[in-house]
Amino acid sequence: MKATSTRATMASKITLEEVARLAGVSTSTVSRHLNGTHFVADEKAAAIEQSIQRLNYRPNLVARGLARGRTLTVGVLTQEIVSSFFNEAMRGVEDGLIGHEYDAIFASTHWESDDEAKRLASMEGRRVDGLILIHPGIDDATLDRHAQTVPMVVVGRKVNSRFVHSLAFDHGVGAQLAMEHLLELGHRRIAYIGGPTGRADADQRFTAYRAALQSAGISFDPRLVAPGNYVEAGGLSAMTLLLDRGLPFSAVFCANDDSAYGAMLALHRRQLRVPDDVSVVGFDDVAHSAYCVPPLTSVRQPLRELGREAANAVVALIDGRKPPRGPMARLELVVRESTRALPAQQGKASPAVPRKKPAARRPS
């Protein structure tokens, strides 16, 4: 332990001048090579790299950033750091920033608009070089104003601003995939657990739910809709509300996977089986959905890919380049064990009602 500490201390004391002396070049040449601000001949660059390795030199990233007028940080605002959805996207951001010298500063806003505004101001106060906002609730005009000061990428929604780089899927297409799957399985009474009110993605999914019913010739019943908030507790409350209304339904489409987990717990507590009594479909296909019981049928968003693309885009904006626009991965339905086809005689409805608990046996 002591030897390791000594080596680390020695490495931290190695100066740029020593690297330059060993490489046989000037200090300014070493600086240009490390900062990447000017071209350095291949043979000199190779000599510098060899000297860095021999001396175990570790550049002072703070000093390097200041020399370039940067902090080498990217602020990342999410709604819930503990959420499976946001966790996948954040891992993608971290993956994308590797090799770019930038570190991410993460903050969550818990679906509170006031918190979003405060966190955004805090990030700017830290002088981050760029911002990545994952599913923000902040209005377009405010985002546009901030993006004129700090390079900004928004993930999960299209922002009407020429200064904001948006990365988003058509959530309506994903919801349509989920509904078509349930309809093809013979379900006609399909409940819906929504997302936070006023969120663009939640609105698109709900609109697609209604459109799918209409296309199938099924009347929309608002009593089969319950509000959710994209978290497990919200899904639990929403499904409890649906069951308490006493209306029959054979399937439920949840606006995200976390809501579906809560909904399945509510069904379990009412002694209803998934999918025997109620089929359940989620949206996002986060990692846990393949391992819950039963494994959840869900619309897959390539969240990690989206995070990586956001990281590459914000670095490009920081460098004054136009972000690359490769082909966006498509949404797809992943069918697992939480859905099943209805028997022909149950085509119209399967009442989702609690099963009676068996009477307890008296000890003989």
Q: Are residues 164 and 311 in the same domain?
A: yes
In the predicted model, is pLDDT for residue 361 greater than 60?
no
Rounded CA-CA distance 89/304 in Å is 5
Q: What are phi and psi for residue 21, nearest 5 degrees? A: -60, -45
Q: Are residues 342 and 216 in the same domain?
A: yes
Question: pLDDT-derived band of residue 354, with 50, 70 and 90 as boundaries?
Answer: very low
Residue 326 falls inside a structural domain: no
pLDDT tens, position by position, 161-216: 999 999 988 899 999 999 999 999 999 999 999 998 888 889 999 999 999 999 99
pLDDT of residue 216: 97
Q: Are residues 198 and 340 in the same domain?
A: yes
CA-nearest of 126, 3, 136, 28 to 77 is 136
More confident: 54 or 258: 258
pLDDT tens, position by position, 86-143: 888 899 999 999 878 888 989 888 777 778 888 888 888 888 999 999 988 888 999 9
**Distance between the two ends of the chain, CA-based, in angstroms?**
68
Lowest-confidence region among 54-58, 59-63, 249-253, 358-362:
358-362
pLDDT of residue 15: 79
More confident: 140 or 29: 140
Residue 330 falls inside a structural domain: no
In the predicted model, is pLDDT for residue 14 greater than 90?
no
In the predicted model, is pLDDT for residue 1 greater than 50?
no
Question: pLDDT-derived band of residue 325, with 50, 70 and 90 as boundaries?
Answer: confident
Rounded CA-CA distance 248/352 in Å is 5
More confident: 336 or 198: 336
Q: Are residues 276 and 182 in the same domain?
A: yes
Structural domain harbouring 89: 73-168+304-318
Most confident of 136-140, 313-317, 319-323, 329-333: 313-317
Residue 291 falls inside a structural domain: yes
CATH number of the domain that residue 46 is part of: 1.10.260.40
Q: Are residues 278 and 129 in the same domain?
A: no
pLDDT of residue 52: 79
Largest CA distance in the chain: 95
Single out the residue in 59, 91, 108 at which a domain terminates.
59
pLDDT of residue 363: 45
pLDDT of residue 238: 98
Residue 210 falls inside a structural domain: yes
Q: Are residues 112 and 222 in the same domain?
A: no
Span 214-241, average pLDDT? 96
Residue 277 falls inside a structural domain: yes
pLDDT of residue 28: 78
Residue 357 falls inside a structural domain: no
Residue 358 falls inside a structural domain: no
Residue 329 falls inside a structural domain: no
Q: Are residues 97 and 156 in the same domain?
A: yes
Task: Say if residues 274 and 221 touch (Cβ distance below 8 Å).
Answer: no
As a three-state string, the secondary structure of 327-352 is: CCCCCEEECCCCCCCCCHHHCCCCCC
Lowest-confidence region among 53-57, 96-100, 220-224, 339-343:
53-57
Q: Are residues 153 and 252 in the same domain?
A: no
In the predicted model, is pLDDT for residue 228 greater than 90?
yes
In the predicted model, is pLDDT for residue 10 greater than 50?
no
Task: Say if residues 224 and 247 touch (Cβ distance below 8 Å).
Answer: yes
Span 11-34, average pLDDT? 76
pLDDT tens, position by position, 56-89: 877 655 555 555 567 889 999 988 777 777 888 8
Count how many domains the chain has. 3
H helices present in the chain, as ranges: 2-13, 16-23, 27-35, 42-55, 61-67, 84-97, 113-125, 140-147, 171-184, 200-215, 232-244, 257-269, 303-318
Single out the residue in 59, 84, 106 at which a domain terminates.
59
Q: Are residues 108 and 14 in the same domain?
A: no
Question: What is the pTM assigned to this prediction?
Answer: 0.73
Q: Are residues 340 and 207 in the same domain?
A: yes
Task: Say if residues 282 and 276 touch (Cβ distance below 8 Å).
Answer: no
Q: Are residues 131 and 175 in the same domain?
A: no
In the predicted model, is pLDDT for residue 306 greater than 50?
yes
Q: Are residues 103 and 224 in the same domain?
A: no
Rounded CA-CA distance 314/131 in Å is 7
CATH number of the domain that residue 208 is part of: 3.40.50.2300
In the predicted model, is pLDDT for residue 3 greater than 70?
no
